[in-house]
Amino acid sequence: MPEYHGSCLCKAVQVSAQVEKPELSTCHCESCRKWCTGPFMAFEAKHVDLEPKEKVTHYASSDIAKRTFCKSCGTSLSFYYNNMKQICVNPWIFENVQGITSNVEVCYDNKPDCYSFANDTKKYTEAETMAMVDTIPEYLPYQN
């Protein structure tokens, strides 16, 4: 399983993640667009280390999910559903993201008309996305 290494903008938080498939998912929901000032693109990671932990803040953006970011510079680090062990990690914090592909767009019906991606992706509406989230097996919540 490939491991990626990187940091937040100010380098206060060092990040390492084990990524099963180096493929990007993109979320167009309003929360993600506000959080990232655009669509949130992410790797799904099996294991993530955010160090030092005291430099990382968790924000409960809804009843079902949390987002993490650097306390110093505000860099968006990760997103995770409360019932998932798998974590969605911001790929742009890693040093080398060459050779990755973008293959899925979720909450596609919330995407503004002002941008689109060149490659063909699998697209899910917000309703389809939430239905998938509801079928994810229960896991221990992500612990930092």
Q: What does the pLDDT look like over 83-126, one tens digit per residue?
A: 766 688 999 999 988 878 888 999 999 999 999 988 899 999 99
What DSSP string describes 6-71? EE-TTSSSEEEEEESS-EEEEE--HHHHHHHTS-EEEEEEEEEEEESGGGEEEE--SSSEEEEEET
AA identity, residue 28: H
**Average confidence (pLDDT) over 116-141:** 76
Q: Which fold has domain 3-113?
A: 2.170.150
Q: What is the pTM of this model?
A: 0.79
Q: What does the pLDDT look like over 62-72, one tens digit per residue?
A: 888 899 999 99
Domain coordinates of the chain in residue numbers?
3-113
Q: Is the confidence at residue 36, as pLDDT, over 60?
A: yes
Q: Is the confidence at residue 56, as pLDDT, over 90?
A: yes
* Mean pLDDT, the chain, integer: 86
Q: How far is CA 38 from CA 27, 53, 130, in A?
A: 9, 26, 20
